[in-house]
Amino acid sequence: SSTRSTLPEFDPTLCTGCGQCWTRCPDSAIGVVASAPAALIDAGIQQTGADAVRQVANKLASRIISGNKAAENVPTTFGQMLDEAFAWLGEKMPLPEERQQAITDGLASIGDAMGALPVAVTKPFFQQPEAQKKDTAELLSLVINPDACKACGLCIKHCEPGALEAREQDAASLAAARNLWSTWAATPDTSSQTLQRIADDPEIGAMAAILLSRYCQFAMAGGDPAEPGSGEKIAVRLALSATEFYQQPLVQRFAKTLLEAGEAVSSLLKETLSGTLAVEDLDAVTEQLRNTTSPRVDLKTLAEGSGNASEDHSIDTRYLLRLIDLANRISSAHHRLVQGEHGLGRARYGLAIAGGSMATWAGAFPHNPFQAPVVIDMSGDAAQLAAGLIEGHLDETTELVRLLRLARLEVDQPDGLDWKRDALASLGWKDLSKEEYELCPPLILTGSDEMLAGPGLGQLIWLLNSGLPVKVLVLNTLDFGIAADPESETSPQPTNNPRSNLSLLALAQRNAFVAQTSIADPVHLGETMLQALRFDGPALIQAYAPSPTRHGFASDAALEQAELAIASRVLPLFRYDPSGVGVFGSRISLD
């Protein structure tokens, strides 16, 4: 905060919910969430323990929606909306004095905790869903994190309605901003239904919708030493957010499959143990129990008296130990996947960074801004490192798939059980089905073209032909050398540098997904990353990532620079999917 003199201030009355500001922020400094009034009230009750409010919560939420549907002067905070709704409710539905006092005290507690939260009534989040179905409107809450914002000005510059303005910061405004951030952190996350609906809105787009989810929003945190308005940070943040969004459902489905497999093995274990006593003839068992004078009975004695003395009640020790071991291993794997040591579960992807300009802000060990495990290579062998890391991901995934297949074998008891069980010992990642292969967390390799397309070019080309699911994000800075034409000093010509045509060089390999995208078009960048993740082999995505400091422009002009690179066709947008229909040329898309 000491390096910043201003802080963006949000005016909810001007917000249109377009998403331009939070998709442009390089530092994850804009917290945004769309919540139904009922969800905000419930969060307030849980936070303050004001259970007396619960009995009127639905009526208050419904009134907040109906009261602001066509209001000229919409309240700007959640506390004001809550007070107005309760005042209306008091006139329409008089309450006993004791009950009213309890509700009043509860609302006061919620107001103290969450009343200052800014909320905006917008067309895409409030009016449109409400027009389709009653009481589905949501309030958009947007808050600035003062411990992450670097006052680059990108959010203010790209907010067309002017809902964000730079305000001079002082001790009081800084304290208020920190309190507001704590308040926002206690709000519920945006629902998956809202994410899908907003992603389908052509005026907002998929990337803005993805960033409404907290998991995606903070795939990369702020507070690092990167320059204000960093093009590199914008590109990496959008790519990692899209990766987190893509991987979350896969992990959840996998966790559910593991849980079901564990339950099936546990049920089989219980059936095996309970089967030591045959109880087909319940009448005989009942008669034997009635004739027993002791309060406890030995199972062997009960079996003999029930006419089962000749039956075998023994259990195969190795079989029983195998089931117990399998159940424990599945339970442990499920715990690591969904919870782990820190309660967040296993990371959804791995990250490798090639040294260079990016390492100056990404390599602040141990306080790096990433939510996933990260390895930074300074030797120039990042591609080989990435190949080794993804092999580890694949081995781990193969072991989990082996567990699932073993569980199914034990439960289904197919013919040839023994040899099928033994065959699983040699299972490799190339033997996995397409659905099983998708469970492998991707490895994202990122860095500047100076490192990846310079000394590491040969390794990079090898990686693109390896078949390994490594997704390479190359941050092109257009810093390659410019040599002057000897006949004309005023006509500089680019040198024959492979960095200048890296994406075309990768395209010529024909085996990898290749794309050129830009931070100037977040929708194209997000969709490109999702398509690259769906492709089951290597992928290379090149994005222009200008640097205000190194390239000499204002910190709020990075996106304008990126737009110029598209418009001038220095780095035109395209995608190539080797698995697409048709021949080579028809698989290239300029959409």
Confidence (pLDDT) at 482:
54
Confidence (pLDDT) at 285:
62
What are phi and psi for residue 77, nearest 5 degrees? -130, 160
Q: Distance between CA 555 and CA 281 in Å, rounded?
A: 83
Residue 369: is its pLDDT beyond 70?
yes
pLDDT in tens, 104-149: 999 999 999 999 999 999 999 999 999 999 999 999 999 999 999 9
Q: Distance between CA 50 and CA 48 in Å, rounded?
A: 5
Question: What secondary structure does DSSP assign to 416-474, as a single string?
Answer: THHHHHHHGGG--GGGS-HHHHTTSPPEEEEEEHHHHTTTTHHHHHHHHTS---EEEEE
pLDDT in tens, 250-262: 999 999 999 999 9
Residue 567: is its pLDDT beyond 70?
yes
What are phi and psi for residue 349, nearest 5 degrees? -160, 165
pLDDT band at 216 (very low <50, low <70, confident <90, very high): very high
Percent of the chain with pLDDT over 90: 67
Confidence (pLDDT) at 487:
60
Confidence (pLDDT) at 70:
78
Confidence (pLDDT) at 277:
55
pLDDT in tens, 18-35: 999 999 999 999 999 999
Confidence (pLDDT) at 274:
72
Confidence (pLDDT) at 357:
83
Confidence (pLDDT) at 335:
95
pLDDT in tens, 485-515: 556 555 555 556 777 788 889 999 899 999 9
Percent of the chain with pLDDT over 70: 91
Residue 177: is its pLDDT beyond 70?
yes
Confidence (pLDDT) at 28:
94
pLDDT in tens, 308-344: 544 555 667 788 888 889 999 999 999 999 998 888 8
Query: What are the start-end ranges of the H helices in 186-281?
Result: 192-199, 206-210, 214-217, 231-274
* 159-163, 269-273, 370-374, 401-405: segment of lowest average pLDDT: 269-273
Confidence (pLDDT) at 501:
84
pLDDT in tens, 525-537: 999 999 999 999 9
Confidence (pLDDT) at 306:
57
Q: If you average pLDDT over residues 76-81, what whole number do you get?
A: 94
pLDDT band at 8 (very low <50, low <70, confident <90, very high): very high
Confidence (pLDDT) at 289:
67
Helices 317-338, 231-274: inter-axial angle, 10-degree rounding: 150
Confidence (pLDDT) at 71:
79
CB burial of 127-144 (b: ≥16 within 10 Å; e: otherwise) equals bbbbeeeeebbbbbbbbb
Q: What is the CA radius of gyration of the chain?
A: 30
Contact 375, 444 (CB under 8 A): no
Q: If you average pLDDT over residues 432-450, what whole number do you get?
A: 93
Residue 481: is its pLDDT beyond 70?
no
Q: Distance between CA 321 and CA 424 in Å, rounded?
A: 18
What burial class does residue 104 get, using C-beta atoms within 10 Å of its C-beta: 0-12 exposed, 13-18 middle, 19+ buried?
Answer: middle
Place of tokens 């901003």: 177
Q: How far is CA 200 from CA 196, 208, 210, 220, in A?
A: 6, 11, 11, 25
Structure tokens at 467: 């078949």
Confidence (pLDDT) at 1:
65
Residue 55: is its pLDDT beyond 80?
yes
As a residue count, the chain comes to: 591
Residue 283: is its pLDDT beyond 90?
no
- Chain mean pLDDT for the chain: 89
Q: If you average pLDDT over residues 570-578, what whole number do you get?
A: 93
